[in-house]
Amino acid sequence: MKKNVVKMTAALMAAVVFMTGCGAEKATEETVDLREVPLEEIIEKAQEEGTISSVGMPNDWANWEGSWEAITETYGLEHDDTDMSSAEELSMFETEKDAATKDIGDVGQAFGQTAIDMDVVQPYKASTWDSIPDWAKDPDGNWVITYVGTMSCMVNKNNVDETIDSWEDIANSDCVVTMGDVVRAAAPQTAVLSCAYAMGGDMENLDPAFDFFKQLAEEGRLDAGEYSQERMARNEIDVSLTWDYLSLKYRDLIVEESPEANIECHVMTDGAIQSGYCLVINKYAPHPYSAALTVEYMLSDEGQLNRAEGYARPIRSDVEIPEELAQKMIADEEYTDGIPLTDNEAITAACAEISTRWEEEIIPLMN
């Protein structure tokens, strides 16, 4: 599983300083503007590079596996990935700048601007650029969202009799809630934000959510552990809050391995926060053309359908999801009250506040 840690950096990284001598050639290569290179040339040069090395894009997250297999089959690029958090991805780009090993990463929406501020990414605009919503892309092409998730709940019906599809339902039940590491992980932080909206708050007013979770903690209804398939199969988890595409995938895996399992998945009706993940090309990528070609593929019709095959909703609304895939996903009518997060600076600030306050206000109540 992808580690999507959201631990905000305290200060921006220093600007890159190119060295002379043998480093001059590398600097020249890094300054090639991929936006100005014709797609045919990108494909040709990518095939010459023959490799694409990613971070935070493992096979089991939103069906990256399907895309990597297609890229290898179509273009002959060999692929490897190192699973790590968003913060770790950008840190690796910066610390390895003189001997880079990674080409591309996938970071939480709040990290798009962080990547620019750290000066560790280079721009590229796929040929489908115009079909991507403005909020989901940096205008200069430094990052682009390729898929979105909506906050959802996965309910173990072996433990919970009632329907749980809202924060109000959670409040009125006696179920224990599993969210994961709120201090560091994006999905749990977004769950807190979802609760804030449901309770009358927003990104600038998180107090209603913290009041809610203080009550849960005092009642002993906040699970301090992480979600795992094994724990759910052993009926150690009542309700898990995470992205819809993860809830659906976990559901199918559990039922496949444990036919006696009884799992329901729903979008949170009173806090259906929707957020995405940004593709970013390493400024120092050893295989920049392969990275650009990867972005091109991920935003193509085929790449977008790969995300749908992993239960995630493609960012491009002009890509039609086949009925057989749609039937495996949560019904469209549950997304009627979706709350798309489009202010990236506000998201970053809210996640930072959630991280700090959870550590200070909620964790002490859970011990």
H helix intervals, the chain: 23-30, 39-49, 64-75, 86-95, 112-117, 167-171, 186-198, 207-218, 229-233, 244-257, 288-298, 301-309, 323-326, 344-357, 363-366
Note the pLDDT of residue 26.
Answer: 40
Confidence check: pLDDT of 10 > 80 = no
pLDDT digits (tens, 9 = 90+) for 115-155: 999 999 999 999 999 999 999 999 999 999 999 999 999 99
Q: Looking at residues 86-103, what average pLDDT do you find? A: 95
Confidence check: pLDDT of 187 > 90 = no
Report CA-CA distances (Å) from 254 to 218, 232, 326: 31, 8, 20
The whole-angstrom distance between residue 327's C-alpha and the CA centroid of its chain comes to: 23
Confidence check: pLDDT of 88 > 70 = yes
Fold of 149-274+332-366: D-Maltodextrin-Binding Protein; domain 2 (3.40.190)
Confidence check: pLDDT of 8 > 80 = no
Note the pLDDT of residue 30.
Answer: 52
pLDDT-derived band of residue 328, with 50, 70 and 90 as boundaries?
Answer: confident
Strands 222-223 and 239-243, sheet pairing: unpaired
Note the pLDDT of residue 366.
Answer: 92
CATH 3.40.190.10 occupies which residues in the chain?
32-147+277-326, 149-274+332-366
Note the pLDDT of residue 1.
Answer: 59
List of residues 6+ apart from 42 with CB closer than 8 A? 34, 289, 292, 293, 296
Out of 5-14, 121-130, 240-249, 331-340, give the one with best mean pLDDT: 121-130
Fold of 32-147+277-326: D-Maltodextrin-Binding Protein; domain 2 (3.40.190)
Among candidate residues 348, 6, 360, 4, the one with its CA nearest the CA of residue 210: 360
Q: Looking at residues 99-114, what average pLDDT do you find? A: 93
pLDDT digits (tens, 9 = 90+) for 209-259: 999 999 999 999 999 999 998 999 899 999 999 999 999 999 999 988 888
Note the pLDDT of residue 262.
Answer: 93
pLDDT-derived band of residue 4, with 50, 70 and 90 as boundaries?
Answer: very low
Q: What is the DSSP letter of 360?
A: I
Note the pLDDT of residue 108.
Answer: 86
**Cα gap 296→126, rounded to integer Å:** 5
Lowest mean pLDDT among 37-41, 59-63, 71-75, 222-226: 59-63
**Cα gap 3→295, rounded to integer Å:** 21
Note the pLDDT of residue 14.
Answer: 33
Note the pLDDT of residue 287.
Answer: 98
Confidence check: pLDDT of 159 > 50 = yes
**Summary mean pLDDT of the chain:** 90
Confidence check: pLDDT of 267 > 60 = yes
Could you tell me which residue, 111 or 136, shows the higher pLDDT? 136
